[in-house]
Structure 1
Amino acid sequence: MRKVINRFSFLFLACVLLLNGCSGLFYYPDDKHRFYDPQAAGYSPENIFFTDVAQRKLHGWWFPAKKSPAKATIIFFHGNAENLTSHFLQLAWVSAEHYNLFIFDYPGFGRSEGKPTPKSCLESGYAAVDWVNKHRANNSPIIIYGQSVGGIIALRTAIDKKTEINLKLVVADSTFDSFQKIARVKLSRHWLTWPMQPLSYILLNDRWAPGNLESLSPVPVLVIHGEKDRIVEPMFSDMIFEKLVEPKTLWKIPGGGHIDVFWGHEFKYRSKFLTFIERLDNF
């Protein structure tokens, strides 16, 4: 009995620390390792350094379209772990399809300064969009693409920046729109942490979450989620899609896991994605 109580106490303390710290629950940055070499994969991105409103120095990679002029620029908000060197291959292939790609690291990730929090990550998203719009886009179309925890940052960034840029499309891939809700769901998964669900609403807030998703309209939004995602449950994309207004599209990927839409499934969703973008001109 004492072991059970001690374990419960440990889990309770861990939950409080994780939820109260926010970054311990949502972000797992790596500032030391280079996971994949772009040159080995046939890419030579340009190193980009820029600053956010807090004067943190941030780092990104610019993959220019291999043929000019580019059809659009995709700004990639990657997931919550490691750094851009482990995420760029998710979308680097678009550079061969007449699209520019800009991927950047949040504070504390890779070569970006600072510590990741919902606020600092959002500020880095604003700064990334501003840099692309000022230095590379020249009012050409921009696509904001967010994966996993990058999706909640991307959605809020798109809401706040859509009137300042030529925003062609927002993509929410395997993501969620509430820090409180996903924390509650994770706590509900184990009988020992189930009673602690209220902590997600006491110790976390959604001040930096998207909020009014309906305000994205008339910008098209594509929501993507694997039906077998065990990291971020598909119901979160269902909730996002329900809050959106037209034009909106939902792709549920049969047999899909977490953020694998362009890597599994015989790569068929790559061509489907390109076709989807091309058809946006008909809206």
Structure 2
Amino acid sequence: MSLRKRLLRLVMISFLTPVIYLLGCQSKLIYHPNPYGTAYERLLQHAKGERIAYTTSQGKQTAFYIPPRTRTSGLPQTVWLCFGGNGALALDWLYFTEYWEGRFAYLLVDYPSYGDCEGAPTPDRIRKSGKAAVEALAKRLGTTPQDLQPRLALLGHSLGSAAALMVAEDLDVRRGVLLSPFTTMTEMGRIVLGWPLCHLNMHPFDNRRTLRHVAGRDGARFVIFHGTEDEVIPVRMGRELAEAHPQVVTFHAVPEAHHNDILSLAGDKIGRAMAEAAPAAP
């Protein structure tokens, strides 16, 4: 083999190796599922929560319903659908929900393969799982998804902001709070992998597109919180999403907050924003 051919072969191998790796292991780079331990069961019992079981193409799924601490007859005034980051579990929200308004109920949603859920996550599967979780909750509450819809609001952190916006798009939910959202997964790939490898993205979450769609609906109102020291998703991404819809989206930079401590540092402000953004009682 000539020197030229050897060099060409070496270049091709050098280029194809990361490509093949990314195509084969991309899900492991994006999603970090974890199982539940016994401590979570105690948290669920303390919150008087219950499991909501349902099934999707990925198999058996489990979400968690946390009723309002302030007991009222009939349906809760507001049900917050909560979606965590790529390394979080749905029940992690319980560390914060007990400090937020007692009139709120919560549906805490895991992704396929997370917690007690079967399957494997993709954008489409996460979208369908969120929608199916709402349908299962409506059945549990003795109502329909259509009657529950005006009472729904969305809360998402990081990857969960993308999940929340997809559900908002599908179920016509017009109120929500987003924490540390990215613009698109491809742009996140550019930060981590550079160009052109970022365009090998097989999980095309696009918050720019979904927020544009949701923000165009009458009565839409969203709040974005983003840490100024976020080392995972740059604060400029959250600011860009908000600035594209100044009449609908309010942006709050959280000084000194990183990616994973924003809830701890801004929990009270987030709770107040949820109270202000919650849909009016039907």
Distance 1:40 1:85, change over 3 A: closer
Counterpart among 180, 183, 186 of residue 186 in structure 2: 180
Match of 2:198 in 1: 200
From 141, 156, 171, give the equivalent of 2:177: 171
Deviations 1:150-201 (A, max 9, x none): 1112112211220xxxx3512221121311110111124xxxxxxxx21111
- Structure 1 vs Structure 2 CA RMSD: 3.1
Q: Could you say which residue in structure 2 is the equivalent of 1:232? A: 233
What does 1:78-157 correspond to in 2, within 5 Å?
Answer: 78-94=84-100, 97-136=102-141, 138-139=147-148, 140-157=150-167
The separation in 2 between residues aligned to 1:179 and 1:131, in whole angstroms, is: 29
Q: Which runs of 4+ in 1 moved over 6 A?
A: 9-12
Name the CA distance, whole Å, in 1 between partners of 2:235 and 2:39. 28
Structure having the higher Rg: 2
Residues 1:83 and 1:271: Cα distance change in structure 2 (over 3 Å): closer
Gaps of 5+ in 2: 1-12
Deviations 1:78-103 (A, max 9, x none): 11115324343243433x52100110
Q: Contact 1:159–1:216 at 8 Å: present in 2 too?
A: yes
Q: Which residue of 2 aligns with 1:59?
A: 62
Could you give the per-residue CA deviations for residues 50-84 of structure 1, whole angstroms, max 9, x where no partner exists? 123x2621111111001233330001011111532
TM norm structure 2: 0.78
Report SS of the residue matched to 1:143: strand
Q: Trace 1:230-269 onto structure 2 (pairs within 5 A).
A: 230-244=231-245, 246-265=247-266, 267-269=267-269
The alpha-carbon distance between structure 1 residues 213 and 25, as it changes in their structure 2 partners (threshold 3 A), is same
Please report how far the alpha carbon of residue 34 of structure 1 lies from its aligned counterpart in structure 2 after TM superposition.
Answer: 4.6
- Deviates further, 134-143 or 152-161: 134-143
How far apart are the structure 2 equivalents of 1:243 and 1:16? 36
% identical aligned pairs: 21
Question: Does the CA-based 8 Å contact 2:47-2:94 persist in structure 1?
Answer: no
**Cα deviation, residue 116, structure 1:** 1.6
Which SS does the other structure have where 1:241 is aligned? helix
Unaligned runs of 5+ in 1: 1-8, 189-196
TM-score, scaled to structure 1: 0.78
Alpha carbons of structure 1 residues 115 and 40: separation in structure 2 relative to 1, 3 Å: closer
- How far apart are the structure 1 equivalents of 2:271 and 2:115? 31
Q: Distance in 2 between matches of 1:10 and 1:82?
A: 35
